[in-house]
Amino acid sequence: MKRAITPGTFDPITEGHLDVISRAAQLMDEVVVAVAASHKKHPLFSLEERTALVRKACAHIPNVTVQPFDGLLVDFAQEIDAHVVVKGLRAITDFEYEFQMAALNQQLDYELETVFIMSPPQYMYLSSSIVREIASLSGDVAQFVPPCVLEALQEKFATN
């Protein structure tokens, strides 16, 4: 069985993330969406909230499971017996960072391969940070996120 990991902070999960996850699920027998604790990024949503939102957003994809993790991706990959990391690429700046991470991960675990999936044009500009900023300014992010995330963002940024 080919098991892959699609890691990320997912703060919050976007339609771009879902595109990569669903395309990875077409290529692999099983995809584990690994929700990173990412303490240094000071996420808007807690690890538990992000994991729950990703589970809801991916519920329609039968060969996808979601697990939180804290620590090195290579350690988590070994723990769940995954040998492939699937990452999305939007632009050349993504490539430079992801190329470096892939090389480091392979240095730490030579059996861990990284596969890149190119974002389609409609998601090349989309990021969680852009979604958070638009939502914080009461902008409409409905086209960028699944309905469960839209509701969670509206609750986070509701004015009393």
- DSSP label at 11? T
Closest CA to 90 of 49, 121, 133: 121
Q: How many Cα atoms within 13 Å fall on the side-chain side of residue 93?
A: 3
Catalytic residue among 41, 129, 136, 138: 41
Question: Is there a catalytic annotation at residue 90?
Answer: yes
CB 29 within 8 A of CB 1: yes
- Range 34-72 burial, b when 16+ CB lie within 10 A, else e: bbbebeeeebbbebebbbbbbbbbbeebeebebebbeee
| Active-site position among 23, 50, 87, 90 | 90
Cα angle, residue 61 at apex, residues 100 and 41 outer, rounded to 5°:
40
Q: Is 156 designated active site? A: no
Annotated active-site residue in 23, 50, 119, 128: 128
The residues carrying an active-site annotation are: 17, 41, 90, 128
